[in-house]
Amino acid sequence: MTDAELAVDLLYWRNVKQSGGVFSSVLLLLFSLTQFSVVSVGAYLALAALSATISFRIYKSVLQAVQKTDEGHPFKSFLEVEIALSQDQIGKYADKIMLYSNTCMKELRRLFLVQDLVDSLKFAVLMWLLTYVGALFNGLTLLILAVICMFTMPVIYEKHQAQIDQYVGLIRTQVNSVVGKIQAKIPGAKRKEE
């Protein structure tokens, strides 16, 4: 199973226990970040994991001593797993990061230097709207809302696809109509071929 298929299965709640575990863990982490610093949360998570593994190791050692068995280290199979990244993997990820970075820089240059007036105006309106969003929410709150939406919207869309598509079509028609009227009134704005 690929990473994309695994993500889709998580977001569409194909395995309820797995999706619930990931969803609750991420929300718990984000809510704890609202109360404590990143350093504190990281340290507490590391201490919790370390406490669990040390306790399990001591428990297994005592159990081996009482039963007089020689099972060895309880985490031996995990210690033998190779976790190093290969040069090919690092190169692949670096290439993807470079591609996304270059694409983003080219698009920002195009928008800020007004290559297309309408697109730059749309970007300006988006930035103006984000000032209001930023005044209402901080970044962590937006991240929490995004996680909640990621785990609820796909399921809602899957159950009510016909109605949602109908309303989205109506909204798209209205937006295209308004954008067309604005483009017709702006001198020098070119209409894109649809």
* pLDDT tens-digit map of 34-56: 888 889 989 999 999 999 999 99
What DSSP string runs through 94-131?
A: HHHHHHHHHHHHHHHHHHHTTSSHHHHHHHHHHHHHHH
- The pLDDT value given to residue 51: 96
| Residue whose C-alpha is closest to residue 108's, from 127, 135, 131, 94 | 127
| pLDDT, tens only, 79-102 | 888 888 889 989 999 999 999 999
Answer whether residue 192 shows pLDDT above 60: no
Q: Which residue spans within the chain are E strands per DSSP?
A: none
Q: Which pLDDT does position 194 carry in this prediction?
A: 44
Residue 182 has what pLDDT? 82
Backbone angles phi, psi at 131, to 5 degrees: -65, -35
The phi-psi region of residue 193 (left if phi > 0; otherwise alpha if psi is between -120 and 50; otherwise beta) is beta
141-169 residue pLDDT tens: 889 999 999 999 999 999 999 999 999 99
Q: How far is CA 154 from CA 24, 33, 44, 147, 159, in A?
A: 17, 26, 33, 12, 9
Q: Mean pLDDT across the stretch 6-28?
A: 91
pTM: 0.61
